[in-house]
């Protein structure tokens, strides 16, 4: 990448408490606006994001499938990989807001983010090693579950570091820098997987170690404060349920941002989930050719992501506006999905990916700044960012459920229907964001 908070955006849930109820007798004072973020802090934030996603995405993209193929007969590989990945995706969606809520409550003298950054990545590294040396599907499943829980504990703390540490006047610029590290991690992970293809242990270990070192650098540089003792209720079952809930009636801007993010990433998931099959089924590439074609397309897309991230962050911070850039980015992504739907050659496909990458980079640069501006309570930034992150992760599970029906239209292989569905989703996501009132 569970409870489905997207469905709750339009429904009442009387069992859950109102979002702004607080157990303490005196409310927590709002934290002061962070001071100007230094270049060192921004660089380590980007490096930490790169390292965490390098550790978790390299297995998803490459090495986990290779590990499954080593221990499972060819006819059973797809189902076995699906089992392992689905368990990991479920735990990622559950773990992110839960660990975020626990991070918000941490009163350690080391701060409330550092223990989860370092502890989470260390646990994640252990899980990756279990996968590397496991000899059965069950072992791989357990190891990948441990890796996903650990890395998502670190990611929950890492995501909240942006609203914690970055002032609003730098928010979009820093979000753009941090956001573009994720596609860079995909490319570097693919290169590392090829470089260490002779040793599965190293193929899992090296990205994991880089992840630990990267968040360690951030833990050294960042300023971190512990949670105020008594500011939160004990984390029982009631608080566990609140980890997945932000009341849309009390916080409509947060709800609209969640809806917009969910819809835009539904469109993006059509590309990330089905590009391999598109290249094979429509453009006719075989198993040996398709990996190289995917790499070429990914490199072209990442270059555009970097350009869109840097440009969008600069322009948004200068103007102080967020919604027009989210609108423009979502529409650019919709256009690119329509281009893929009609692509009949590899050149057209790569051109569409470049357009998609530019729109995605522009979106990533501004979306995080917009998200930080609509958080209901700064003291619960990690929990609330974890809820928003479900909007990123859930489409990765839902799109594969919807895609077979779309592909079957007209007799099968209807990639036009799939990518046009993604384009419509991106447009609806752009429109949803326009209902946010507290942000320009």
SS (HEC) of 257-276 = HHHHHHHHHHHHHHHHHHHH
Supply the Cα-derived Rg of the chain in whole angstroms.
21
Site of tokens 């409550």: 105
Contacts with 260 (C-beta within 8 Å, 6 or more apart), sequence order: 326, 330, 429, 430, 432, 433
pLDDT at residue 32 above 60? no
CB 134 within 8 A of CB 252: no
Q: What is the pLDDT of residue 33?
A: 57
Give the mean pLDDT of 64-79.
77
Q: What is the mean pLDDT of residues 143-162?
A: 90
Cβ burial of 173 (10 Å; 0-12, 13-18, 19+) is buried
Over range 316-333, report the average pLDDT. Answer: 85
Q: Which pLDDT band holds residue 341 (cuts at 50, 70, 90)?
A: very high
**Token pair in block for residue 384:** 């609330």
Q: Are the CB atoms for 253 and 374 separated by under 8 Å?
A: yes
The proportion of the chain whose per-residue pLDDT surpasses 70, expressed as a percent, equals: 87
- Long-range contact set of residues 39-43: C-beta below 8 Å, sequence gap at least 24: 40/221, 41/165, 41/221, 41/222, 42/166, 42/170, 42/174, 42/177
- pLDDT value of residue 209: 96
Q: What is the mean pLDDT of residues 143-163?
A: 89
Tokens read off for 437: 């009132």
pLDDT at 164: 80
Whole-angstrom CA distances from 391 to 6, 82, 98, 259, 396 are 7, 21, 15, 7, 10
| Residue 243 pLDDT | 64
Give the pLDDT score at 52: 94
Residue, of 131 and 437, whose pLDDT is higher: 131
Q: How long, in residues, is the chain? A: 440
Give ranges for CATH 1.20.1250.20 in the chain: 37-245, 246-440
Residue pair 150/18 in contact (Cβ under 8 Å)? The answer is no
Task: For residue 359, name the pLDDT band (cuts at 50, 70, 90).
Answer: very high
pLDDT at 287: 64
Range in 3-17, 39-53, 54-68, 74-88 the model is least confident about:
3-17
CATH superfamily of 246-440: MFS general substrate transporter like domains (1.20.1250.20)
Listed range (45-49, 217-221, 360-364) with the worst mean pLDDT: 360-364
Q: What is the pLDDT of residue 367?
A: 78
pLDDT at 238 over 80: no
- Tell me, what's the pLDDT at 337? 94
| Average of per-residue pLDDT across 297-313 | 84
pLDDT at residue 352 tops 80: yes
Distance CA(19)–CA(17), nearest Å, equals: 6
Residue 2 pLDDT: 35
Taking CA 91 as the corner, what is the angle to CA 422 and CA 184, rounded to the nearest 5 degrees? 55
Whole-angstrom CA distances from 375 to 111, 160, 419 are 21, 11, 32
Least trusted range by pLDDT, from 21-30, 224-233, 248-257:
21-30
pLDDT exceeds 90 at position 3:
no
Query: What is the percent of the chain with per-residue pLDDT over 90, rounded to a whole number?
Result: 26
Residue whose C-alpha is closest to residue 68's, from 126, 132, 2: 132
Judged against a pLDDT cut of 60, whether residue 266 lies above it is answered with: yes
Confidence band for 49, pLDDT divided at 50, 70 and 90: very high
- pLDDT mean across residues, the chain: 81
pLDDT at 24 over 50: no
Superfamily per CATH, domain 37-245: MFS general substrate transporter like domains (1.20.1250.20)
The token duo for 119 is: 């502890």
Close Cβ partners of 331 (under 8 Å, ≥ 6 residues apart): 359, 426, 427, 430
């Amino acid at each position: 990448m569970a409870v489905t908070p997207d469905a709750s955006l339009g429904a009442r849930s009387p069992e859950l408490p109102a979002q702004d109820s607080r157990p303490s007798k005196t409310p927590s004072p709002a934290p002061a606006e962070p001071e100007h973020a230094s270049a060192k802090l921004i660089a380590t934030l980007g490096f930490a994001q790169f390292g965490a996603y390098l550790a978790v995405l390299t297995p998803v993209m490459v090495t986990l499938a290779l590990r499954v193929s080593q221990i499972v007969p060819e006819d059973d590989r797809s189902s076995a990989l699906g089992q392992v990945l689905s368990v990991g995706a479920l735990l990622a969606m559950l773990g992110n807001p839960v660990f975020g809520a626990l991070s918000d409550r941490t009163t350690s003298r080391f701060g409330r983010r550092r223990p989860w950054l370092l502890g989470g990545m260390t646990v994640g590294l252990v899980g990756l090693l279990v996968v590397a040396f496991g000899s059965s599907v069950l072992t791989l499943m357990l190891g990948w579950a441990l890796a996903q829980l650990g890395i998502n504990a670190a990611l929950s703390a890492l995501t909240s570091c942006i609203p914690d540490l970055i002032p609003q006047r730098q928010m979009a610029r820093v979000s753009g820098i941090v956001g573009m590290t994720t596609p860079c991690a995909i490319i570097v992970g693919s290169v590392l997987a090829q470089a260490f293809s002779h040793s599965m242990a190293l193929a899992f270990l090296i990205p994991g170690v880089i992840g630990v070192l990267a968040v360690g650098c951030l833990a050294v540089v960042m300023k971190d404060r512990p949670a105020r003792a008594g500011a939160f209720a004990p984390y029982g079952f009631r608080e566990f349920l609140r980890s997945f809930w932000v009341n849309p009636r009390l916080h409509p801007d947060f709800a609209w941002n969640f809806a917009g993010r969910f819809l835009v990433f539904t469109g993006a998931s059509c590309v990330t989930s089905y590009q391999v099959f598109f290249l094979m089924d429509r453009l006719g590439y075989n198993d040996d050719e398709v990996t190289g074609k995917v790499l070429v397309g990914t490199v072209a897309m990442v270059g555009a992501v970097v350009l869109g991230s840097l440009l969008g962050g600069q322009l948004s911070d200068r103007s102080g506006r967020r919604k027009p850039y989210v609108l423009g980015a979502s529409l650019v992504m919709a256009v690119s999905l329509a281009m893929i739907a009609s692509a009949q050659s590899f050149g057209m496909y790569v051109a569409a990916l470049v357009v998609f990458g530019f729109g995605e980079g522009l979106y990533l640069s501004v979306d995080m700044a917009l998200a930080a501006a609509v958080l209901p309570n700064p003291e619960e930034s990690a929990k609330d960012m974890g809820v928003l992150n479900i909007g990123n992760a859930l489409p990765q599970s839902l799109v594969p459920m919807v895609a077979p029906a779309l592909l079957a239209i007209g007799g099968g292989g209807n990639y036009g229907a799939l990518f046009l569905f993604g384009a419509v989703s991106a447009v609806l996501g752009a429109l949803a964001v326009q209902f946010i009132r507290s942000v320009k």
